[in-house]
Amino acid sequence: MNIMNEIFEKIQAYDTIIIHRHQNPDPDAIGSQVGLRDLLRAHFPQKRVLATGYDEPTLTWLAEMDEVKDEDYAEALVIVCDTANTPRIDDKRYTNGDFLIKIDHHPNDDAYGDLLWVDTESSSTSELIALFAKELDLELPVSAARLLYAGIVGDTGRFLYPATSTRTFEIAAYLRSIPFDFTALARQMDTINLKTAKLQGYVYDHLEIDEHGAARVTLTQELLKKFDLRDSETAAIVGAPGRIDTVSVWAIFVEQADGHFRVRMRSKRKVINEIAKRHNGGGHPLASGANSYSLEENDQIYKELQEVARTNEG
Residue 121 clears pLDDT 70, i.e. is over it: yes
DSSP letter for 62, please: T
Confidence of residue 17 (pLDDT cuts 50, 70, 90): very high
DSSP letter for 244, please: S
Residue 300: CB atoms within 10 Å: 15
User: 94 with 27, same domain?
Assistant: yes
Residue 137 clears pLDDT 70, i.e. is over it: yes
CA atoms of 58 and 307, how far apart (whole Å): 35
The structural domain count of the chain equals: 2
Enumerate the β-bridge partners of residue 128.
none
Contact 40, 17 (CB under 8 A): yes
User: 27 with 127, same domain?
Assistant: yes
User: 271 with 304, same domain?
Assistant: yes
Handedness of CA 149, 89, 108, 106 (dihedral sign): positive
Residue 102 clears pLDDT 80, i.e. is over it: yes
Beta strands in the chain (DSSP E): 16-20, 48-51, 77-81, 99-104, 115-118, 208-209, 214-219, 249-255, 261-267, 282-283, 287-292
Reported as half-sphere exposure (CB side, CA atoms, 13 A), residue 174 has a value of 24
**Amino acid 1: pLDDT:** 63
Q: Which of 30-39, 41-50, 90-99, 185-194 has the lowest mean pLDDT?
A: 185-194
Residue where a domain terminates, one of 155, 189, 223 = 189
User: 75 with 128, same domain?
Assistant: yes
Residue where a domain terminates, one of 140, 169, 189 = 189
Interaxial angle between packed helices 125-135 and 142-156, expressed in degrees from 0 to 180 and rounded to the nearest 10 = 140
Tens digits of residue pLDDT in 206-240: 999 999 999 999 999 999 999 999 888 898 899 99
Give the residue-averaged pLDDT of 88-100: 97
Residue 313 clears pLDDT 80, i.e. is over it: no
Residue where a domain terminates, one of 126, 161, 189 = 189
* Domain CATH code at residue 201: 3.10.310.30
User: 210 with 160, same domain?
Assistant: no
Question: Which residues form the domain of 47?
Answer: 3-189
Residue 286 clears pLDDT 80, i.e. is over it: yes
User: 102 with 241, same domain?
Assistant: no
* Domain CATH code at residue 18: 3.90.1640.10
Residue 287 clears pLDDT 80, i.e. is over it: yes
**Strands 48-51 vs 16-20: parallel, antiparallel or unpaired:** parallel
Amino acid at 193: N
CA atoms of 175 and 147, how far apart (whole Å): 10
Contact 20, 83 (CB under 8 A): yes
CA atoms of 127 and 151, how far apart (whole Å): 8
Tens digits of residue pLDDT in 144-199: 999 999 999 999 999 988 899 999 999 999 999 999 999 999 999 999 899 999 99
Surface-to-core class of residue 222, CB atoms within 10 Å of its CB (0-12 exposed, 13-18 middle, 19+ buried): exposed
Residue 91 clears pLDDT 60, i.e. is over it: yes
